[in-house]
Structure 1
Amino acid sequence: MPIFRYPELPLDGLLRRAALRDPAACAVRTAHGMRTYAELDARADRYAAYLEHALGRRGARVGIANTLDEEFAAAWYGILRSGNTAVLLNPLVRAAGLRHMCEDARVEIAFVPTATAELLVKTADRLPLLRAVVVTDAPDGIVPADAVPLCVALDRAPRPEPRRAVPFDPDTEACVQFTTGTTGRPKGVRLTHRNLVANAAQTAAAHHLDAGSVTLNNLPVHYPMHLNSAVYAGACQVLCPSPRPAAALALADRTGATHLYTLPARLHQLAADIRFAEGPRGDGLPHPLPGRPERLTVVLSGGSALAPADARLLAERLGVPVLQGYGMVELSPLTHSQRPDGRSGTGTVGAPVPGTECRVAHPRTGVPCAPGETGQVQVRGPQLMAGYLGESGPPVDADGWFSTGDIGRIGPDGGLHVVDRLDDVFSYDSQLVSPTAVEAVLAADPRIEDCVVVGWPDPVHGALVWLGVVLADPTAPGVLDVLDSVVEAANAQLGPHEQIRRVEVLEAVPRTPAGKPERRSLRRALRRRAAAEAAA
């Protein structure tokens, strides 16, 4: 494997480097205007000065809500520049989740929007370490009681002065980010400056970012991956908080975006829009949705699987590649990305980003699988976390391989096919069944609006395929006949171990806020029902 090189800098050093190289270049653009790299760097200095004044020491943990605005970027780098750790607080979580994050990470100061500040203030008596809540989105100074407006907080600190040199260790903790908690209680992941700088360089290389790039961020929150990679490259980042994909395309056109980052759900919405799918009309009527932004070179999707059909349709309509990647919080997060040149293979999440190794191993024995075989995905590289909160190091084997908990296989072109989560797959007669693979077959049936597959406990075979379906027309006569026909058609395309043996009609598939099926709660319910049936 070729040696992958990245700078031995603190993460905030990437911002300083970009500001020195081209101080007048656009760093962040929003509906309110733009900040140059020099302005963003100076704003980060203000945050650092406030924290040095308020804390009086280095090494504290400071909460920051990753809202999609320019203040996040300044606060993010300012926290790191002050010698403290940034703790990402998802502004979309509820009070209990927010309290859990602050308790586990021992947050002392928090930079958050008004709505999050209200939740923190209400629970302040249960957070004895939290000494200040700073509201980032209240320019008029109206904030919840016991909170501080950002303008007041920054004005309290002395003006930034030339910083004295402090010995730098790239393995110092830079960030604590919490997992989504889809398979259990969210865990705090400790990421170092090395992890994040390396992954910024890896992402910039994989996505072909440079100083001429304009990245449009159309995500619900501000993920550090997109900020760090843009700053690493010296690119301009445009923030688009609108959930409407048409608005993102229009903004991409107006701002000259070269890269558009968005969610699979938004791309699916765009692909499903009949006006867009039909393309320009031949009847002289205006096309209701914007076409391809002039400078756009690629659309990039992440967070969950992107349907290949959606990717193909949008690539055809927009005239640019529509790609996806793969990663997780523990890996800073990116490990794989499809390439604009198509070399990473159709239907995959792409090849490893530079400096990253990937293999699949048997889920129980850990023995590496033969090429093309399915097993647990394992990764190693400089972006691997320092560990979880309360643990001394990352959970790796003797050779440094980290097991992701995902099941997949590596194709002949080197692309990784992610099949399912290890927690979600189950065995029928010792054969692994992937719920996602079964669901993919059913998704092509127009009689089904939505579906979910989990294992029904069985003392003989291990588990049977249980299918919950939401019918496209639940009021149509002959529902049982429709179900029988749906199952018969699906089973004709499935292997012996994947055969659907139990089916039920659902009003809706239970899903997480991220849109993933709530399989864990379904498994618990089915285990109780199976036990009751066995006892009857």
Structure 2
Amino acid sequence: MPNFTYPDFPLDGLLRTAAVRDPDGTAVRSGDTALTFGELDTLADRVAAWVRRETGGRPGARVGVANVLDPVFAATYYGTVRGGATVVLVNPLIREEGIRHVFAAAEVEVAFVPTATAEVLTKLSGALPRLRTVVVTDAPDGVVPGDAVPLHTALASAPAAPEPGRTDPGAIACVQFTTGTTGRPKGVLLTHRNLVANAKQTALAHRLDCASVTLNHLPLYHVMHLNSAVYAGACQVLCTDPDPLASLAAAAGAGATHYYGLPARLHRLAADGRLAGAGPAPGGPGLTAVLSGGSGLRPEAARDLRDRLGVPVIQGYGMAELSPLTHCQRPDAYRPGKVGQVVPGTECRLVDVDTREPVEVWATGEVQVRGPQLMAGYLGEQAPSRIDEDGWFSTGDVGYLDDDGALRLVDRLADIFKYDNEIVSPSQIEQVLGQDPRVADCIVADWPDEVHGGLVWAGIVLADDPDPGPYPGYGQGTVEGIDVLDVLDSITARANERLATFERIRMAEAIDAVPRTPTGKPERRGLREKLRARAAA
């Protein structure tokens, strides 16, 4: 294991250390609201005192905390673990059945959630017998659904400070559910050590320090960004405006050094015609990097943004089971299309998808990693089935390493399929299709075939009015004014010229929208089920 050390204290020690080091430094800012590290630490103390009283001080009691993009999340997140409980992260964007699954599977007893989620929990009260207290985090007027309690009321009744407790850094600090793109969402058990180690790993990989200002243009508050910034003593600016140009203006106004965005939003930003007229350094003169993760960032979008913003647009890689970061491009070793080298203290290898033997550099295989950020296991599982006896975790992703140890991902193991025993990667074909200006979005999957195994099927969202380029008659209005089948044939033919024989698109259909998860990943599992049903019929 690489030589890598990190603080051996509980997760909330990140905040306590930052508050002692710089109590007056701004920790997090959202709109007109700003909290210093000292104020955030004090607020976490109040949450901890309430949690300890509400749960009876029982170690590991499960407390749901919605990761809304608001300073209140940071206080309830650190306060919950300081109170001796385990945080169960709740995505407030998921629907009723998803919320029911998370609360029931994790046996959540207490929850800090926004009003919309509290309303869902009120409807689900009969199905969640373990849930006894719901605290609403966004009800300043005190109006809350059902028997819920406003946050300010709960904290007003709490003791002045939490009773001191001793938390084992090896204990479970957090339960984070997977996105469920390849099956039912599973609860990932992360220890205090996992999260503290990854906070330092991320801060080092992203080059964060106490002078850094991060702009989070994200739909949710991600613990990676929170923990790494608090570890470094950096200021976090939360941008809730979905408009991409507004986020750049916010970054410039805040003096941001780091801009965090999801690939789906960065793709929209790269395609936004207003960016060309946004003036010099639209993200601000202090911006050093745009960082992305969660799903694939198209290389052409990264290059366009780099050229316009004048800074590297880099991608990282990881997953919930890894706290989450394992790889990240370095600003001085920026190569679009790759996710970079491992973060400090992490090892990576690739194994053949069939033999499971390690493969050489440049050879395609399943990505395996190990390091201090690797989860303790899954909720309800006796032994982590994806971790072998030597500590290697099988990620389910397929890729290859170059001579410098940089990783390029090809696809999910669950998404690839075979045509005449050749591996076909849907995402690779999507990248080729996406370079056609007539394609606004696309998704690729396999159509079952008894002879070849799987035929490439492509669902294509046609652009309304792209630059016609070399396509006469196109770009003169909307797609209703053209022969859609002719356009699909032309798009397919152009893509097939750039694809290997086994990758060629055999079937193409116009679709209204690509099905995606809340994090922007293509939702291929449900699509495949529909294609199989159609093929069987």
- TM-score in same-fold range (> 0.5): yes
Shift of the 250–485 alpha-carbon distance from structure 1 to 2, 3 Å rule, reads: closer
> 1:478 deviation in Å?
4.4
User: Map of 1:392-431 to 2, 5 A cutoff?
Assistant: 392-394=382-384, 395-431=386-422
Which 10-residue stretch deviates more, 331-340 or 441-450?
Answer: 441-450
> 1:118 deviation in Å?
1.0
Which amino acid is the alignment partner of residue 50 of structure 2? Y
Q: Distance in 2 between matches of 1:95 and 1:15?
A: 33
> 1:445 deviation in Å?
2.0
Instruction: Please name the residue that 1:284 is paired with.
Output: none
Q: Secondary structure at the match of 1:309?
A: helix
Q: Distance in 1 between matches of 2:251 and 2:509?
A: 44
Q: Distance in 2 between matches of 1:480 and 1:92?
A: 36
Q: Distance in 2 between matches of 1:507 and 1:19?
A: 50
1:379 to 369, 377, 380: 369
Which amino acid is the alignment partner of residue 7 of structure 2? P
TM-score normalised over the length of structure 2: 0.93
Asked if structure 2 preserves the Cα contact closer than 8 Å seen for 1:249 and 1:290, the reply is no
Instruction: Please name the residue that 2:514 is paired with.
Output: 509
Asked if structure 2 preserves the Cα contact closer than 8 Å seen for 1:47 and 1:154, the reply is yes
Instruction: Please name the residue that 2:152 is paired with.
Output: 151
Shift of the 178–501 alpha-carbon distance from structure 1 to 2, 3 Å rule, reads: same
Instruction: Please name the residue that 1:189 is paired with.
Output: 188
User: Map of 1:123-202 to 2, 5 A cutoff?
Assistant: 123-160=124-161, 163-164=163-164, 166=166, 168-202=167-201
> 1:290 deviation in Å?
7.1
Q: Distance in 1 between matches of 2:236 and 2:15?
A: 13
Asked if structure 2 preserves the Cα contact closer than 8 Å seen for 1:332 and 1:383, the reply is yes
Which 10-residue stretch deviates more, 426-435 or 309-318?
Answer: 309-318
> 1:165 deviation in Å?
5.2
Q: Distance in 2 between matches of 1:250 and 1:508?
A: 29
Asked if structure 1 preserves the Cα contact closer than 8 Å seen for 2:251 and 2:283, the reply is no
Superposed CA RMSD in Å reads 1.7
Instruction: Please name the residue that 1:237 is paired with.
Output: 236
Which amino acid is the alignment partner of residue 499 of structure 1? R
> 1:398 deviation in Å?
2.2
> 1:350 deviation in Å?
1.1
**Does residue 348 in structure 1 map to residue 363 in structure 2?**
no
> 1:74 deviation in Å?
0.7
Aligned length: 521
Asked if structure 1 preserves the Cα contact closer than 8 Å seen for 2:52 and 2:85, the reply is no
**Does residue 498 in structure 1 map to residue 498 in structure 2?**
no
Q: Secondary structure at the match of 1:227?
A: helix
Instruction: Please name the residue that 1:39 is paired with.
Output: 39
Asked if structure 1 preserves the Cα contact closer than 8 Å seen for 2:330 and 2:340, the reply is yes
> 1:482 deviation in Å?
3.3
Q: Distance in 2 between matches of 1:509 and 1:264?
A: 15
> 1:368 deviation in Å?
0.9
Which 10-residue stretch deviates more, 505-514 or 134-143?
Answer: 505-514
| Structure 2 unmatched ranges of 5 or more | 464-477
Asked if structure 1 preserves the Cα contact closer than 8 Å seen for 2:224 and 2:323, the reply is yes
Q: Distance in 1 between matches of 2:510 and 2:249?
A: 40
Deviations 1:303-324 (A, max 9, x none): 1111222222222222221111
Q: Secondary structure at the match of 2:109?
A: strand
Q: Secondary structure at the match of 2:316?
A: strand
Which amino acid is the alignment partner of residue 195 of structure 1? N
Which amino acid is the alignment partner of residue 498 of structure 1? E
**Does residue 464 in structure 1 map to residue 455 in structure 2?**
yes
Shift of the 474–304 alpha-carbon distance from structure 1 to 2, 3 Å rule, reads: same
> 1:476 deviation in Å?
4.5
> 1:236 deviation in Å?
1.0
Instruction: Please name the residue that 1:269 is paired with.
Output: 268
Asked if structure 2 preserves the Cα contact closer than 8 Å seen for 1:470 and 1:507, the reply is yes
> 1:218 deviation in Å?
1.1
| Structure 1 unmatched ranges of 5 or more | 281-286
> 1:155 deviation in Å?
1.6
Q: Distance in 2 between matches of 1:193 and 1:201?
A: 13
> 1:66 deviation in Å?
0.5
Instruction: Please name the residue that 1:10 is paired with.
Output: 10
Asked if structure 1 preserves the Cα contact closer than 8 Å seen for 2:45 and 2:79, the reply is yes
Q: Distance in 1 between matches of 2:104 and 2:176?
A: 13
Which amino acid is the alignment partner of residue 112 of structure 2? F
User: Map of 1:14-163 to 2, 5 A cutoff?
Assistant: 14-58=14-58, 59-160=60-161, 163=163
Which amino acid is the alignment partner of residue 509 of structure 2? E
Asked if structure 2 preserves the Cα contact closer than 8 Å seen for 1:345 and 1:413, the reply is no
Instruction: Please name the residue that 2:432 is paired with.
Output: 441
Asked if structure 1 preserves the Cα contact closer than 8 Å seen for 2:187 and 2:378, the reply is yes
> 1:41 deviation in Å?
0.7
Which amino acid is the alignment partner of residue 13 of structure 1? G
Q: Distance in 1 between matches of 2:208 and 2:94?
A: 31
> 1:2 deviation in Å?
4.1
Q: Secondary structure at the match of 2:237?
A: strand
TM-score normalised over the length of structure 1: 0.94
Q: Distance in 1 between matches of 2:364 and 2:438?
A: 31
Q: Secondary structure at the match of 1:370?
A: coil
Q: Distance in 2 between matches of 1:500 and 1:56?
A: 60
**Does residue 209 in structure 1 map to residue 208 in structure 2?**
yes
Which amino acid is the alignment partner of residue 359 of structure 2? C
> 1:477 deviation in Å?
4.5
Q: Distance in 2 between matches of 1:152 and 1:529?
A: 55
Asked if structure 1 preserves the Cα contact closer than 8 Å seen for 2:2 and 2:346, the reply is no
